[in-house]
Chain A
């Protein structure tokens, strides 16, 4: 076949597929959000944002992302640097640390439910230590703090691995000579981390943060398993509009709001962590 045409033939299936199942649905969802049957309208958005639950939902989602992502970033950086200097057992430790990568958010929610539910392991442990004499129902509306903590822990447990993998791969690409040179000049391990690892890791940090932040706004099943309706988040409300209220216009509007937040944060992360022009490793 003509060598000039071949690449286009090869990328054609993906392009068609993404046009049909990515760009076209995006157009559809926008159309749905901006119409209620007749012409252009903002009614769907007014309905969604005017609902009393909306500010709570929005606050919950943002608060959760703000609480979870920085801890995950710090933890992933710590784990990645620890793995990097490991000689024995590196493969085993990496395998264990990346296990949550393959675990679904629903399963993660169920796993932490086993710990936090009324007859769960946390209560059993507190009972064993004599802190409580009968099981306490932790995940109720009287304990919003504990519900939040449970969801937070489940998210940190589940989704730190994706950042870890990206950061370990990124650190692997940094030439060892830089560290050797820094050591010759007497830089402490902390200095080396600040002055070499962090700046050269910027592309990987970008990817890891973008992926992670978007996933944080998509949080759904973990919350459904642990908090149910106690802790409403954006994605869960979208689901409720679609199924419980059968209002697909409002669901579409809420979906667009989630999209807008995701894109805004993606742009901010890309801007803040941009790699200076012409700089390469």
Chain B
């Protein structure tokens, strides 16, 4: 009799535990999604609705705010600049970073620890601050207020990640595969391009997307280094005081969209990349 009651109590507590667990998961998902949903409502509502009170809790699917955003002077140029800077950052951080990642995973060489220290050191610095002295240097070299100049700074932000991520990715491919290719007559280069590269390409793409988003999201350096050629973040920041609400929300929404796609595209790699990269 007592055994039966304790059993029943145990299942009861387990059921209660599962219920608490389940609702906590749902609650935390809502915590992430609901604010995004509010932004969506504001973006897909007419400007008048965005500025009215009280707010509807379902979007009215009016493109007024987005049209206003697209027609706002300088906004589309800013959007174009953002894409250009992020694209350049993506290419540069992979082209420069990936070879170093390969070297770290395949070779033991003098100064390897020093090199790793240099990479890790960048993490202990608020890097956007370095845009301040670079502003002077860029004026001297004619890089000021250019897409390329800003991309250089954003590459500095992205490079430590691209080195560590590609290091993790290359470490995941056994050296034996390459050695087998060498014995079959491949040179180091052909072995790399025919054996390693196809295996690593999805991961490289993921880390390239990561670099794109780092640049796309960066505000401080973009605001410091550009005046005429503002990126979207810099443009929105500069106009925060003066721009109407619907413009802010539409701009925020355009900033968020790539993020959603990005996380979805790299979700498989996110944890593998961080697992090794954080050691």
Residue numbers of A with Cβ under 8 A of B are 1, 4, 6-11, 13-15, 17-18, 21-22, 25-26, 28-29, 32, 79, 82, 86, 91, 93-107, 110-115, 117-121, 123-124, 127-128, 134-135, 157, 165-166, 168-170, 172-173, 203-204, 207-208, 210-211, 214, 217-218, 220-221, 224-225, 228, 235, 238-239, 242-243, 248, 251-252, 255, 258-259, 262-263, 266
- Do A104 and B217 touch across chains, with their CB atoms under 8 A apart? yes
**Contact A104-B255, Cβ < 8 Å, known A11-B100, A18-B159:** yes
A266 to B271, CA, bound (A): 23
List residues of chain A with CB within 8 A of the CB of B125: 22, 26, 214, 259, 262-263
**Quick one: given A111-B36, A170-B278, are A238 and B132 in contact (CB under 8 Å)?**
yes
Prevailing SS type, chain A contact patch: helix
Cα of A228 to Cα of B251 in the assembled complex, Å: 18
In the complex, chain A residues whose CB is within 8 Å of the CB of B112 = 7
Most buried by A among B249, B255, B274: B274
Contacting residue for B220 out of A1, A7, A220, CB 8 A: A220
Residue of B218, B249, B259, B275 near A102 (CB, 8 A) is: B259
Alpha-carbon distance A258/B130, docked complex (angstroms): 12
- Given the interface contacts A95-B267, A104-B216, does A82 sit within 8 Å of B21 by beta carbon? yes
- B8-16, B71-79, B116-124: which lies at the A interface? B116-124
**Is A210 within 8 A of B123, CB to CB?**
yes
In the complex, residue of chain A having the shortest beta-carbon distance to the beta carbon of B124: A266
Closest to A203 in B: B279
Contact A242 B260 (CB under 8 A): no
Our pick among A8, A172, A258 for the contact of B126 (Cβ within 8 Å) is A258
Chain A residues with CB under 8 Å of B217's CB are 102-107
B25: which A residues are within 8 A, CB to CB? 82, 86, 93
Q: Hey, which chain B residues are within 8 Å of A221, CB to CB?
A: 219-220, 233, 237
Check A18 against B156 for contact (C-beta < 8 Å): yes
Contact indicator B259/A99 (Cβ below 8 Å): yes
Given contacts A106-B219, A106-B252, contact A263 B124 (CB under 8 A): yes
Chain B residues lying within 8 Å of A26, measured Cβ to Cβ, are 125, 130, 133
Interface pair B255/A239, CB less than 8 Å apart: no
Q: Shortest beta-carbon distance, B60 to chain A, in Å? A: 14
Determine the distance from Cα of A30 to Cα of B152 in the docked complex, in whole angstroms: 21
**Interface residue tally of chain B, by bracket?**
35 or more
Interface secondary structure of B, over-half rule:
helix
Q: Nearest Cβ in chain A — how far from B251, in angstroms? A: 7
Which are the 5 A-B pairs with shortest beta-carbon distances?
Answer: A102-B259, A104-B217, A110-B252, A28-B133, A169-B275
Judge whether A214 and B155 touch: CB under 8 Å.
no
Decide if A103 touches B259 in the complex (CB within 8 Å): yes
**Complex-state Cα separation, A28 to B24, whole angstroms:** 50
Whether B128 and A239, one on each chain, are in contact in the complex, defined by CB atoms closer than 8 angstroms, is no
- Shortest CB–CB separation between residue A71 and chain B, in angstroms? 12
A63–B220 alpha-carbon span in the complex (Å): 21
Q: In the complex, are the beta carbons of A228 and B100 less than 8 A apart?
A: no
Nearest-CB residue, chain B, relative to A98: B263
From known contacts A96-B32, A221-B219, A239-B224, infer whether A22 and B136 are also in contact, taking CB-CB under 8 Å. Answer: no
Q: Judging by beta carbons under 8 Å apart, are A119 and B213 in contact?
A: no
